[in-house]
Structure formats: C-alpha cells, structure tokens
Structure 1
Amino acid sequence: MLAGGAARRLGGADKPGVRVGGRALLDRVLTACAGARTTVVVAGPRPTVRPVIWSREEPPGGGPLAALAAGLRHTTADRVVLLSADLPFLDHRTVRGLLAPLGHGATADGVLLTDADGRDQPLVAAYRTASLRRELAVLTGRHRDLAGLPLRRLTGSLDLTRIPGPVASFDCDTWDDIATARARIREHGHVLDEWISAVKDELGIDLDVDTGVLLDLARDAAHGVARPAAPLTTFLVGYAAAHAGGGPEAVAEAARKATALALRWADEDTPDATAPAPPAGTAPETRPDAG
C-alpha cells in the first residue's frame, strides 16, 4: 500500500490520516485488506487499525515506482494487491474480485479497476509479483534511479485485465473529494453499513453477523416492550454470544431467543384470541350493591 505522497492538492495535509466516517483513510483501506497474509505500507510509521510492515522508498517522496520497489522487498507472495491509501469506498469484496482472475490457469500479469470515466487505476489493482519484479528490473537497468518515474512506465508493459469500478476506485485528491466521500457514507443506503464497520474497527472486532437479524430484534423489543429495550436487548445478545464462544452462529442463536421472548412479551398485551367466549345471552357478572 502506497501512503507517502505529498498531497499537494490537499495543501500538504496528512492525507492518509484524513478521516471519512470517523476513520482515517489509511485505516479504511487496511480494513478492506484484512485478509492479506502480509500488509506492507510504504510511508512513515503511524498508529493504524491493525499491525502492518512499514517500508520507505528511496528517496522519501520518490514516487510510486520507487515506493512499489520498496514494498516488494517485504513479500514473498506470488500475487500482490497494490493500493493507494486514499480509497474511502474500497471493500474486501473488491479486493477478492481483483485477485480472482489471477488464479490457477490465468495468464494475465494483473487486474486493475477502471474509474467512472473508464481510465485505468493502477493503484487499485492486483498483480503477479514476478511480473512486477521483471519490469522493475528492466526499468532499473535503463534508468538506475526509479524516483520520479510514472507508474505507467511499468504497467504499460503488462498484460492487464480491466474491471469497471467507479465507486471502489474513487480516490480523495482534493478537499472536494473528501466532502463528497463524507456525504456519500451518510446517505440512507450506506450509513448503517459504514457505521457498523467503523464500530468494529474502533472496538477491534473482526466478526461478520447478519445485521438484519439484530435490526429485527431491536424492532420487536422496541415495539413489544418499550423503546429503550432495543439497545439494551441487542447489548445483552452480544454479551450472551461472547459467553457462548462468539461467532456469527452464537449471535444468531442469542438473537433468536431474545426475539422469541420479545414476541411472547408483546402477545400478553393483546386479548387472548383462544379464550372461550361467554355463552350467548349470558349477562356479565355484576357485584351486588353494597348498600
């Protein structure tokens, strides 16, 4: 992952540390790569959401080719995912989608996303490590110093597969881009997933659960018991799941039990439809006058 740019269009701000949805851009990209065996970040060290290997290009600020060469020194994998650190909408599904076409029997050197205008995004891509090392060796033989050379000098010689990815390839080069990203994650169709991801990062939780089950539970607890019961019940479900060993199955089972209880609770607040009706013509029982 390359995170050492100068961010000139952001006025020299620390771009990897700019927050979108409460999380640093770098941490958002690291979360999308959580399944990687080794994660190398080419930049100056900083606190991150999970451990990484730090590397530095020579000279610092020498550009993407120099940074790529520095990062490759720390991996023995046969495939690598090359990413910039300013991709707010990258997710693990996209990362897996980049790697899949490079599986057994494939011949391409790499797979990259194209943006909304159809342009190649070589910093949202997966490559065969051998192909990168081969082309880096060629360029080093020609120029000795990779500093300042554009990445297309390398990628232009590769056999690449392209996948449209207008959202995942969206990068934040300007403050307007940052504002756009911050606005999008608050839209109705995205805000819940974004919030759950942020909370899991903040708490150090790596657990995928069916949020729909929890939302249904919260609804039933709020409507059938009382509104404050919703957050308290979902907390207790999480606590119970942890005691049961954790994992999606434990959460689902605890949620099922709590949902059934909430429904039974709500049923008691309605007339019992199974109770026998009084015989026709029977007058309701009355108490005799006390006087």
Structure 2
Amino acid sequence: MAPSAESPGQPAFDAVILAGGEARRLGGADKPGLTVGGRSLVEHVVTAVADARTTIVVGPERPIPGVVFVREDPPRSGPVPALAAGLNGVTAPWVVLLAGDLPFITAPHVTALLNAATTQPPNTTADPAPPTPATQPPAAPAHPTLGETARPMSQDVAGAVAGGAVAPASGDAREPAPEEGPVGGVVMVDDGGREQWLAGVWPTARLKRALAAYPGRSLKGLLGPLTAVRLALPGRPWFDCDTMDDLEEARMNVLNEWTVLACEELGIDPATVDRDLILDLTKEVAHGVARPAAPLTAYLLGLAQGAGTAPDDAAAKLITLAKHWGQATAETLTDS
C-alpha cells in the first residue's frame, strides 16, 4: 500500500510480499492472482499490511494501487533472491515478510507479530492461547481477536507446541541497535509447530547484513539464526494455497463465514440451512437453465419457504426440474 502512518504504539515497518513463484503444484497457474472471497490472494496479503510505510511486492505487476512492484534477477530464481530484491526498497527499522498466497492473514495477525518482535524477551517461544494436546488441534475461530501480546511459555510447553526456541547465531550475537528492538526476528508457526518462513517480522538492519553474507538459497538457513521468537496465533494465518485442494478449502472457509454472517443478519439459525443442497441447486440451474437463473431460483425458494408454501423436498424438485429443463421446455412448446 501507499506509505502510511503506523497505528499508535506500533513500530514502523515496511512489508515485502513474495508473489512470483512458479506454482508447479498448481500447474503453473498465476497463484497470487487466484481469487478467494472476491479478491486475489495477493490482495488479501496487501490488505493485512495496510499500516506499512511501504509495501513491496516481488512479482509481476498487478493493478493494486499504492504498491511498489519489483522483480528478482532473474525472475523466479527463488525466495532468497526475491527477498534481496524486496529489501532494496525497505527503509523502516522492521520488515514484515509474507508469502503472496495467504488468504487468512489479517492486520491483527501482523500486529501480533510486531508486538512479539518488540516486547518479548529473547530466545522464547510464544503462544497467545492456552496450549491444547497435539492430537486435538484447536478449531479456527471465524473471527479471531488478537488483542493481547503473545506471552512466553514454559520450556516444556514451548517444545510441545513449536519445537523449542532458537538462540541467535554466534556471528550475530552483538547487542541490537535501539531501533531494532529488544529481540531478533519473529516467525509464525502453524498448528503443528512448523516454522513458516514466509510469515514473520525481522529487524531490517540485521536481516540486510545477514543476507549480504549468506551464500545459500534457503530461507530457513538465512532466517533461522536471526529468530528469537516462534509465534502461534489463533485462526490459520499461516495457511497457504499450494494446490487446487488448498484453494478450494480457502474458498469454502470464506463461504462458511459468509453463511454464518448472512444468517445472523437475516435472523436465521445457520444449522437450519442446508448449504450444500442450495449449492447443488444453483449449480444445476446455472448449468441446465441459465446462469442468471441460479440466484433467482435460490431467492424464489427462500420466498416460498418463508411463506410456508414450499414442500419439504422443494430444493430436490427444483434440481430435478433443472436437470430436465430441455425436455420440459420442448413439451411446453409442443403444447402451445
């Protein structure tokens, strides 16, 4: 986004979003440009860093206002060259590094990462919610609230949830400059405790120095020695869309949330809505009759149910009618 004033109490940061991979598991599709909930994946991520002074997207240029687009040289040469290209434009003391395919990440998640980077004691693993057994991962809330700074956990709990903390490498053991905060970088962990190296916050000066001296091509190799905090957050902000199944799951999650919100607005119990049946109905009507007939049919069904005139199997009857639409219209024309 365009340079903007950060939220009160929030450290100044720039954002680098890596959005130029090859997407082999998606058949070479333009992954960051795929849509979830009416917006492209990369737009979801850009929105999450709206408070950044400057947002830099490393990847093909897109019609997203206020974003700086750059490319690594050569294009698609890997995440480390892409990060280097993005860091060239970073001037804030902190940089938020994110993948371009995170549909569930939000501004509160980014704020939680920044808070952990600037307020946690070094060499800790943090989790803002009470731990749950690994065999029963917590369900993702529809609307996570991240109002509290993550707190350090005991060594035993930390090890169970996120695999323990990593001390800074000896080559970077000097005291950080004041603008770098009290700790090193913060990396998000998923529900299995695995680090997500494209979801974190890093002190800009230390990251630039480390990158200049790093000969490898692995983000883990670069960022691991700079990591001071591993952070687990509510919801699934770490969820990325590597496959078509991932993309479909993200889209269905949005549909679930929309169904709940729409039901609340309309005074309907979501448990009484057979969402899959309605989706089947609209699919059959769009395919067998006409695309605009799908939402119209769903609306008519709702009117009939509200009036109490719809039979119990109304949706099934409409599906059958749509499947035999060609035959039904031919018979009508013949009768006339």
With the shorter chain as reference, the TM-score category is 0.5 to 0.7
1:170 partnered with 2:239: yes
Counterpart among 83, 93, 104 of residue 98 in structure 2:
83
Alpha-carbon distance, 1:131 to partner: 1.5
Instruction: Report the AA paired with residue 68 of structure 1.
Output: L
1:52 partnered with 2:119: no
Corresponding residue for 1:130? 205
Corresponding residue for 2:107? 92
Instruction: Report the AA paired with residue 83 of structure 2.
Output: L
Residues 77-98 of structure 1 show CA distances to partners (whole Å, capped at 9, x for unaligned) of: 0001000000000000001111
1:134–1:22: structure 2 CA closer, same or farther, 3 Å change rule?
A: same
Corresponding residue for 1:121? 196
Alpha-carbon distance, 1:36 to partner: 0.9
1:136–1:59: structure 2 CA closer, same or farther, 3 Å change rule?
A: same
Aligned mates of 1:93, 1:168 — CA distance in 2: 10
Could you tell me the percent identity over the aligned residues?
45
1:71 partnered with 2:86: yes
Q: 3-state SS of the aligned residue for 2:241?
A: coil
Query: Given that residues 110 and 127 in structure 1 are in contact (C-alpha distance below 8 angstroms), is that contact kept between their aligned partners in structure 2?
Result: yes
Corresponding residue for 1:184? 253
Structure showing greater Rg: 1
Query: Given that residues 185 and 194 in structure 1 are in contact (C-alpha distance below 8 angstroms), is that contact kept between their aligned partners in structure 2?
Result: no
Alpha-carbon distance, 1:156 to partner: 2.0
Alpha-carbon distance, 1:51 to partner: 1.7
Aligned mates of 2:50, 2:200 — CA distance in 1: 16
Q: 3-state SS of the aligned residue for 1:156?
A: helix
Alpha-carbon distance, 1:152 to partner: 1.0
Query: Given that residues 65 and 150 in structure 1 are in contact (C-alpha distance below 8 angstroms), is that contact kept between their aligned partners in structure 2?
Result: yes
Alpha-carbon distance, 1:192 to partner: 6.8
Corresponding residue for 2:222? 154
Corresponding residue for 1:247? none
Aligned residues: 189
Q: CA RMSD in A?
A: 2.1
Corresponding residue for 1:277? none
Instruction: Report the AA paired with residue 178 of structure 1.
Output: L
Alpha-carbon distance, 1:160 to partner: 2.4
Corresponding residue for 1:257? none
Aligned mates of 2:246, 2:240 — CA distance in 1: 7
Corresponding residue for 1:9? 25
1:87–1:16: structure 2 CA closer, same or farther, 3 Å change rule?
A: same
5 Å-filtered alignment, 1:1-291, equals 1-48=17-64, 50-103=65-118, 106-139=181-214, 143=215, 149-165=217-233, 167-187=236-256, 190-191=257-258
Aligned mates of 1:115, 1:72 — CA distance in 2: 25
Normalised to the residue count of structure 2, the TM-score between the two structures is: 0.53
Aligned mates of 1:108, 1:64 — CA distance in 2: 24
Query: Given that residues 21 and 194 in structure 1 are in contact (C-alpha distance below 8 angstroms), is that contact kept between their aligned partners in structure 2?
Result: no
Alpha-carbon distance, 1:122 to partner: 1.2
Alpha-carbon distance, 1:33 to partner: 1.0
Aligned mates of 1:44, 1:66 — CA distance in 2: 15
Aligned mates of 1:69, 1:116 — CA distance in 2: 29
Alpha-carbon distance, 1:138 to partner: 1.2
- Unpaired segments of 5 or more residues in structure 2? 1-16, 120-177, 268-336
Aligned mates of 2:247, 2:260 — CA distance in 1: 19
Aligned mates of 2:221, 2:46 — CA distance in 1: 27
